Structure 1
Amino acid sequence: MMDEFYGFQKKNIYTLYIFQLLFCVVIIFKYLCSKLLIKIDFIKR
């Protein structure tokens, strides 16, 4: 019983970690895209 609970919690922690990682990647990607768009806009002018 205890082992199953521990295994479930471990899996949950990994899932949370992966979601946080994805969230960070999305934020960085958006940030880079906005920077790139500003550069492209600047070059066009």
Structure 2
Amino acid sequence: MSHSPIVNSSNYAPVSISTFSSRKMNKLTEAEITYLYQMGMDISNSLAHN
């Protein structure tokens, strides 16, 4: 795999996320939804306690 040595990750990441969302969001399994929800709750809890 060859990649350009210069990658602007701050510009690249949102594109990747939106592409992932549009292709996968309607295909998520219940387990994946549960995992993502739990991960979000963990982040919210850790932020609330800091």
TM-score, normalised with respect to structure 2: 0.44
> Which has the larger share of helix?
1
The alignment's TM-score, normalised by the length of structure 1, stands at 0.49
